[in-house]
């Protein structure tokens, strides 16, 4: 099924003629940039935002993927931090961030003769509260992965087949502690992380960015947000553990990376 959808994606991009890809360096936009490059060559331009709110690790990953796979790639400055409504950090923060990004990208596309700006939203994003998608629609940005019905799980598998290092980026990032890229074999670290997930608390969550970054420079992968995913279970637990009797098992990305299959609860 994923292969048929990828073929439909290539047809969509070919019909567009030229695209600017909003390329964050994450799994979805990396896959889209890869397909766009393979379909359109230099008529596909992957553009990565450069701003204080953009993690240096993502910037480095975007650069490496573009270099290794031959994408036409550029950075462009965005200034969401100058927007008071973004700094207010309310429920629509993502709207203001994406409005800044997509405004800059659509202006670039018009100035340089690209037909479309496209982003990496996929079919599994439809039911989520994503104010950034509203900004994209307002500015005419399209989501080809969503349009052809590609899910996160399918994008991961197609990315793996393509050799893209982004196919399981989240799990690898969540496996790091403050100094090691993979701390999963440290019992004390596993206990600290799993202990947080196992406790309920009425205490207010800490402010974003107050914890020390991990070895990749990423803050708050644990101890702030319990991220659930309905589209695919953690690929570092096993190939598919969604049908083993517990509907919650393996559905959260962060701590799901901590235990090898033999150590999972039964």
DSSP per position, 42-109? GGEEEEEEESTTS-HHHHHHHHHHHHHHT--EEEEE--GGG-HHHHTT-TTHHHHHHHHHHHHHHHHH
Q: What is the pLDDT of residue 213?
A: 85
Do 203 and 251 lie in one domain? The reply is yes
What is the pTM (predicted TM-score) of this model? 0.70
CATH of the domain at 112: 3.40.50.620
Do 64 and 87 lie in one domain? The reply is yes
| Closest C-alpha among 171, 167, 138 to residue 250 | 171
Q: What is the pLDDT of residue 226?
A: 53
Last residue of a domain, one of 117, 141, 168: 168
Do 117 and 155 lie in one domain? The reply is yes
Q: What is the pLDDT of residue 247?
A: 42
Do 63 and 182 lie in one domain? The reply is no
- By the 10 Å C-beta count (0-12 exposed, 13-18 middle, 19+ buried), 194 is classed as middle
CA distance 266 to 261: 10
Q: What is the pLDDT of residue 33?
A: 98
Do 146 and 180 lie in one domain? The reply is no
Q: Taking phi first (over 0 means left), then psi (-120 to 50 degrees means alpha), and beta for anything else, what does residue 19 get?
A: beta
Do 25 and 88 lie in one domain? The reply is yes
Contacts for 101 with CB less than 8 Å, ≥ 6 apart: 22, 49, 78, 80
CA distance 24 to 219: 17
Do 22 and 44 lie in one domain? The reply is yes
Q: Give 160-225 as a 3 state SS string.
A: HHHCCHHHHHHHHHHCCCCCCCCCCCCHHHHHHHHHHHHCCCCCCCCCCCCCCCCCCCCCCCCCCC
CA distance 86 to 97: 7
Q: What is the pLDDT of residue 246?
A: 45
Last residue of a domain, one of 134, 168, 202: 168
Q: What is the pLDDT of residue 150?
A: 95
Do 163 and 46 lie in one domain? The reply is yes
Q: In the β-sheet with 116-118, what is the strand arrangement from edge to edge? A: 73-77, 44-50, 19-22, 116-118
Q: What range defines the domain where residue 6 resides?
A: 2-168
Last residue of a domain, one of 152, 168, 184: 168
Q: How many domains does the chain have?
A: 2
Do 77 and 115 lie in one domain? The reply is yes
Do 22 and 116 lie in one domain? The reply is yes
Do 142 and 199 lie in one domain? The reply is no
pLDDT mean by block of 10 residues, the chain; 266 residues? 90 98 93 98 96 81 93 94 85 88 96 97 83 92 97 90 82 78 83 74 72 79 57 41 42 41 32
Do 18 and 111 lie in one domain? The reply is yes
């Amino acid at each position: 099924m994923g292969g048929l959808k990828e073929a439909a994606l290539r047809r969509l991009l070919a019909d567009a003629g030229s695209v600017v890809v909003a390329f964050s360096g994450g799994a979805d936009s990396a896959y889209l940039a890869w397909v766009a490059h393979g379909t359109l060559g230099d008529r596909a331009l992957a553009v990565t935002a450069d701003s204080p709110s953009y993690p240096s690790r993502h910037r480095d990953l975007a650069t490496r993927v573009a270099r290794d796979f031959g994408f036409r790639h550029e950075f462009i400055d965005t200034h969401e931090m100058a927007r008071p409504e973004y700094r207010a950090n309310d429920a629509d923060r993502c709207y203001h961030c994406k409005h800044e990004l997509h405004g800059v990208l659509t202006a670039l596309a018009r100035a340089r003769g690209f037909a479309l700006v496209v982003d990496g939203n996929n079919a599994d994003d439809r039911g989520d509260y994503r104010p950034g998608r509203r900004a994209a629609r307002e500015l005419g940005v399209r989501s080809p992965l969503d349009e052809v019905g590609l899910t996160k799980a399918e994008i991961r598998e197609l990315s793996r087949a393509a050799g893209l290092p982004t196919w399981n980026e989240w799990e690898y990032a969540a496996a790091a502690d403050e100094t090691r890229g993979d701390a999963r074999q440290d019992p004390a670290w596993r206990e600290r992380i799993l202990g947080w997930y196992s406790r309920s608390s009425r205490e207010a969550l800490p402010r974003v960015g107050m914890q020390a970054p991990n070895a990749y420079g990423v803050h708050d992968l644990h101890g702030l947000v319990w991220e659930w995913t309905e589209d695919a279970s953690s690929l570092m637990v096993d190939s598919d553990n969604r049908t083993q009797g517990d509907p919650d098992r393996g559905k959260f990305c962060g701590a799901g990376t901590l235990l090898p299959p033999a150590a999972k609860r039964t």
